[in-house]
Amino acid sequence: MQKDGIQKLEHKLADAKIVKQTEKKTHVIQEFITKFNNDWSMNLAGLLAYNLLMSMVPIAIALLAILGFTLGSFTNPADMLKPIETIFPGLAGNQNAMTIAFQQVEHLRTSAWAMAIIAVILAIWSGSRLFVTIEGCLNIIYRLRPRPFLQQNLVSISMLLLFIVLVPIMIIAASAPTLILGLVGSNPALKMVPFLGAVVHNPLISYLSSVLGGILVGCILFGAIYTIMPNQKISFRTSWCGTLVAAVALELFLLLFPLYIQHSMGSYTGQVGFAVILLLFFYYFAVILIVGAEVNAFFFEKVRPLPNDVVTFISTMGGMLHLNTTQREPHYVDSTPTEQAEKARTASIAQQPNKAEHQPEQRKQKPTRKTAINPTLLEVIMGTALAFLLQWLNLRREQKKKPAR
């Protein structure tokens, strides 16, 4: 009887432990959802989707022009459409946008070099506005102050140039698994190996290899955004999870989005229908980007949710600072959580005056968490790129001056 009682007690303790762990995990999930909602994440995704749509043509012009400069010829800009389609199916599918981009690039080819350089610089500037918006959204999620104007634009332009450099790498990464399988399949000696022959002719493995390549491309893209754009030093250790979540979600989205369009939006036809579909594509892409950032900020950077949504929080805190002189609205969201949090913070500071006095000294001793990119390094990179561009233009000019043999 005593043993039975002990066993029952152990079972009850084990069940209580399981219930406690489940409640703890549920609380964490609820807190994450609260942060996601209070940050206005879906509204931020809409903002990003609009900026993606508006930056599409400038980025395409900058991408085609710079690739044309580096490859040495503008003879057929349409040949560059296929690599772009590998990375951005929505961008390449917009024939109007791509036609405008090709016309602009062809105009650059026949224009004076000075005007061409100015046009490319303007395209880079316009395309970098997207990354300024991304930085603003990530700063809200991470609770960070924005960079100064000059530094913010240097980082955004550098990110756009880095993105253009990453395009060939992303293309290689996306096609590498399929390319390797094709090389193995075309080699008679390797086809004789039983295991390799079965792998090459297996459609499931070929399909999974393409999916793996897409996930790898997503990891490169989101990893660069999550580690560079926030105004804080972000390491791979604190960004890998959100990067992987966003990359896998993007690959699933690319697989399911055509089915969704086919079955749910078949009535949308023509240019208006395509604009709606394209905007919807960008919106869900922005949602995926925001979700990955929220995962990194909440689970790894330990950023807690706001007491209220971000607009209510700003309005309440502004009222406490006597910055808003408007009358109280007749209907408004309950701001009690924010007011209680501020009162608790004020009471905590009042009870610990010594700690508040020594806080500036502690801040001096702790390493600052400001900018992830050194501005001097950015200046060196951009100066080197500009010198390379000018040298390349001089070489092209000298080649044109030489008489044809």
189 and 100 inside one domain: yes
Model confidence over 154-184: pLDDT tens digits?
999 999 888 877 777 777 766 666 667 666 6
Number of neighbours of residue 311 by Cβ within 10 angstroms: 12
User: Residue 372's pLDDT is what?
Assistant: 44
Q: Give phi and psi for 57, each to the nearest 5.
A: -70, -45
341 and 261 inside one domain: no
79 and 152 inside one domain: yes
Model confidence over 211-237: pLDDT tens digits?
888 898 899 999 999 999 999 999 999
What residue numbers bound the domain in which 142 lies?
Answer: 39-305
Q: Structural domain tally of the chain?
A: 3
Does residue 70 lie within any of the structural domains? Answer: yes
Mean per-residue pLDDT for 301-308?
Answer: 92
| Per-residue buried b or exposed e for 339-370, using 16+ beta carbons within 10 Å of the residue's own CB | bebbeeeeeeeeeeeeeeeeeeeeeeeeeeee
145 and 121 inside one domain: yes
121 and 190 inside one domain: yes
Whole-number Å distance between alpha carbons of 381 and 375: 10
Does residue 381 lie within any of the structural domains? Answer: no
Does residue 396 lie within any of the structural domains? Answer: no
Looking up tokens 């009690």 gives 336
107 and 13 inside one domain: no
300 and 322 inside one domain: no
In terms of pLDDT, which residue wins out, 144 or 325? 144
33 and 57 inside one domain: no
324 and 271 inside one domain: no
158 and 226 inside one domain: yes
Model confidence over 3-35: pLDDT tens digits?
666 666 666 666 666 766 777 778 889 999 999
User: Residue 68's pLDDT is what?
Assistant: 61
Angle separating helix axes 41-71 and 270-295, nearest 10 degrees: 100
Contact 74, 106 (CB under 8 A): yes
The overall average pLDDT reported for the chain is: 75
Model confidence over 120-139: pLDDT tens digits?
787 788 888 999 999 999 99
- Highest average pLDDT, of 53-57, 101-105, 172-176, 277-281, comes from 277-281
Does residue 161 lie within any of the structural domains? Answer: yes
User: Residue 123's pLDDT is what?
Assistant: 78
User: Residue 214's pLDDT is what?
Assistant: 84
Does residue 333 lie within any of the structural domains? Answer: yes
Contact 298, 26 (CB under 8 A): no
214 and 172 inside one domain: yes
